Amino acid sequence: MEENLQYVREPAKRIFAQELQESNLTYKEEDDQYSKQYLITQTGARINRLYITGTLIEKENIGNETEYWRARITDPTGAFFIYAGQYQQEAADAIVRIEPPGFVAVIGKPNIYTTPEGATMTSVRPETIQVIEEDTIDQWIVDTAHQTLQRLNDKDNPVAKQASAHYQTDLTRYKEMIITALSAVR
């Protein structure tokens, strides 16, 4: 019983926009609607929380009666979609305040949406959004490049095996993605 009492916070995984967009494999530890959901990404990250940075370039209130904000945040490899409504009040308020374009950091949860046509879209449900400085963006790119490379090199990781079975991950493409990202650091 002692072990269960110890609540372990999920670390915020580092991932580039391209990899997040291209990942849609979800996984639950137990088959229960309340159990934690993870997103398994192309390079084998098992994500329940993530930390991303980039430039907020667009925002739009797509809600009808209640506000529901969509924001587009870009990094050197692509774009993240952020959705914040009444249940992410702090983050929604932050989006309202930020004038695009601006540098931001987001900590949040991955969210998979399946369209009626069966296509999937991976977005981020923010816990917090903060305006940051450009230096932090560079630090994040290097950190994320490093952690993505570690995942690519970790061939024994069972999650990576599961990922490559599902996606047929093209490792070279993801190495190129890392190089693209690093090239953006001045």
Partner 1 sequence: MPNTVQEIVNRFSQLGIELSEKEIEERLQKLTSEFKVPIGEAKRSVVNYFLKEHDIDRSQYYAGSTNDITAIQDINQEGRWVTLKVKVIQLWEANHESIVQVGLVGDETGIIKFTMFQGVTIPEPLEEGKSYLIKTAVTGVWQGKYQINMNKATSITEIEEDVEVGRQTAEFTGVIVDVQTGSGLIKRCPECNRALSKGVCTEHGKVEGVYDLRIKAVIDDGKTTQEAIINKELSEKLTNITLVEAKDMATEALDHNIVTDRIKSKIIGRYYTIVGTKIDRYLIVSEIKALPKITKEAVDELLSQLHTTQTEGSTTHSTLDCVAIEQSKNTNEEAL
Q: Which stretch binds partner 1 (CB under 8 A): 58-66, 79-87, 144-152, 161-169?
A: 144-152
Q: Which of residues 43-82 bind partner 1 (CB under 8 A)?
A: 49, 51, 53
- DSSP assignments along 22-74, one per residue: T--EEEESSSSTTS-EEEE-TT--EESEEEEEEEEEEEEE--SSS--EEEEEE
CA 55 to chain centre: 14
Q: Which stretch binds partner 1 (CB under 8 A): 29-37, 70-78, 135-143, 158-166?
A: 135-143
| 91/85 Cα distance (integer angstroms) | 8
Minimal distance, residue 86 CB to partner 1, in Å: 19
Peptide bond into 116 cis (omega under 30): no
Q: Which is nearer to partner 1, 6 or 115 (CB)?
A: 6
Measure the CA angle with vertex 143, ends 141 and 148; round to 5°. Answer: 90
Residue among 25, 91, 105, 160 that touches partner 1 (CB under 8 A): 105
Which stretches of the chain bind partner 1, using CB under 8 A?
A: 2, 5-7, 9-14, 49, 51, 53, 104-107, 127-128, 130-133, 135-136, 138-143, 145-147, 149-150, 153, 155, 175, 178-179, 182, 185
